[in-house]
Amino acid sequence: MKIAVLSGKGGTGKTLVSVNLAAVAQKSTYIDCDVEEPNGHLFFKPIDVQEEEVSVKIPQVDNERCNGCRKCVDFCKFNALAYIKDKLIIFEEICHSCGGCIMLCPEKALTEKEKGIGKMQRGISDEVTVYTGILDTGEASGISIIKKLLVNNKSKGDEQTFIDCPPGSACIVMESIKDADYCVLVAEPTLFGVHNLNMVYELVKLFNKPFGVVLNKCVDGENPAEKFCLEKNIKILKRLPFDNELGMLNSNAEIAARKTKKYYAIFSSLLETVKREVQYETTTNS
Amino acid sequence: MKIAIPVDEKDMGTNVCVSFGRTPYFLIYDTESKESVFLDNSAVASSGGAGIKAAQIIVDSNIEALLTPRCGQNAANVLKAANIKMYKTTTLSVKDSIDAFIAETLSLLDDIHEGFHGQVGN
């Protein structure tokens, strides 16, 4: 069972929710797909960390063979190639590694070369296997790292996997939730929070994923995010309080559920709710 | 000498466009024949690499100098590779920019910015 945790912006509580869910699930897998700023490992402090480089394939040109037909230049939707003064110029950081230019080149002047863009780490924290993707600074897209992180976890059958998504709703988030069985959307109780929630709400609807909302930082009084959920008939999985103790534990990179019984109970009940929802979705859809 | 300027509209009274890569049109002006031609910038709707594509259009039009208020790094790399000189415009007026170029009062554009990759607006 793969559960993705997402939100429209950073700082909403994705890592808080996914780290604590993985901690209470005992034997589980946590995957930090927020490759631009992974912070789940700060909480888990995994040991026995193994590292693997991640690279992408980009074209390189043999200008002796290139006859300037420009098929590659015209084909590239990202404009990663230009033909200037009888020479092909390749902009590596623009390239999306689709390989189209290499396939199209009639002169076989383009070949693949590997370019490192970051790394993947795997470690253990109690019974949780912790995967972290780290994109090198300045690299444009972490998609390849996310693909690699998720492919590694295909084999594990009934074990629970928690995917800590990057913020927002761009392609990097789509890649992270593509194979998820269920999506947990985290929302803040503000108008801005509603805007951000709406972004990911539109996304999970587009992907036809079953989902529910965790209302984070709840205070007394009006909660626009809750109102939004009620209006749209969205399942509210849990209301997490705006709570000094929880905030403090989290700021100190502690996993609240591992620290106190109170939070263990809160996140266990959230996990149970999520599991029930997933089962419900499976039965109604089969 | 053929020069190019990013412009907002297909009209000599139009303004110099603030963006090079995503300008809707280029004015191609011949300083000898005083002829002007407006060129559509097909890079304007690109999802990425607009500067590179726009620069390719300039190179393919046999331009010798580009007059622009600013230019991104990738586009500058293409233009440099093609030995096209970049001059910094200081006024919105297309006509004044051309006059300034002819009077040789425009300075070379050297504050190349990193680019607005993927950002909205200009």
| Block mean pLDDT (10 aa), chain A, length 286 | 93 95 94 95 96 94 94 94 93 90 95 94 95 91 91 71 94 93 95 95 95 94 94 94 93 94 96 91 72
User: Which residues are CB-contacts of A224 (< 8 A; sequence separation ≥ 6)?
Assistant: A189, A190, A191, A193, A194
Q: Is the CB of B75 inside 8 Å of chain A's CB atoms?
A: no
The CATH number of whichever domain residue B49 belongs to comes to: 3.30.420.130
- Residue B29 lies in domain: 2-103
Contact B55 A91 (CB under 8 A): no
Whether B108 maps to a domain, the answer reads no
Q: Write the CA distances from A68 to A81, A85, A87, A105, A118, integer angstroms.
A: 12, 10, 7, 10, 33
Which residues share a beta bridge with A57?
Answer: A114
Does residue B117 form part of some domain?
no
B90 touching A (Cβ < 8 Å): no
Q: How far is B86 from chain A (nearest CA, A)?
A: 16
Does residue B7 belong to any structural domain of this protein?
Answer: yes
In a domain, B25, yes or no: yes
- Residue B78 contacts A where some CB pair is shorter than 8 Å: yes
Residue B114 pLDDT class (50, 70, 90 cuts): confident
Q: Residue B93 gets which letter from DSSP?
A: B
Who among B46, B59, B74 is closest to A91 (CB)? B74
Query: What pLDDT is recorded for position A155?
Result: 54
Contacts of B119 in chain A (CB under 8 A): none
Q: Is the confidence at residue B32, as pLDDT, over 90?
A: yes
Residue B122 falls within a domain, yes or no? no
Q: Is residue B118 part of a domain?
A: no
If you average pLDDT over residues B47-58, what whole number do you get?
92
Contact A82 B43 (CB under 8 A): no
Please give the model's pTM, rounded to 2 decimal places: 0.79
Does B44 reach chain A within 8 Å, measured CB to CB? Answer: no
- The yes-or-no verdict on residue B26 having pLDDT over 50 is yes
Is the pLDDT assigned to residue B97 strictly greater than 70? yes
Residue A78: closest CA among chain B residues belongs to which residue? B48
B52 touches A at CB < 8 Å: yes
Q: How many domains does chain B have?
A: 1
Q: Find, among A252, A254, A261, A226, the residue nearest to A240 by Cα.
A: A226
Contacts of B117 in chain A (CB under 8 A): 140
Judged against a pLDDT cut of 50, whether residue B122 lies above it is answered with no
Q: What share of chain A is helix, strand, coil (3-state, %, to 5)?
A: 35, 30, 35
- pLDDT tens profile A203-234: 999 999 999 999 999 999 899 999 999 999 99
Select from B43, B50, B78 the Cβ nearest to the Cβ of A84: B78
Residues of A with CB under 8 A from a CB of B: 73, 76-80, 82-85, 87, 89, 91, 94, 140
* Cα(A200)–Cα(A215) distance, integer angstroms: 14
Residues in chain A within 8 Å Cβ distance of B53? 79, 82
Interatomic CA distance for residues B45 and B23, integer angstroms? 10
ipTM of the prediction: 0.86
With respect to residue B113, please indicate whether it lies within any of the assigned structural domains.
Answer: no
Does residue B36 lie within any of the structural domains? yes
pLDDT of residue A154: 62
Task: Tell me the shortest Cα–Cα distance from A109 to chain B, in angstroms.
Answer: 20
What is residue B118's predicted lDDT score, i.e. its pLDDT?
A: 60
**E strand spans, chain A:** 2-6, 28-32, 47-61, 81-84, 87-90, 110-125, 128-135, 160-164, 182-187, 211-218, 236-241
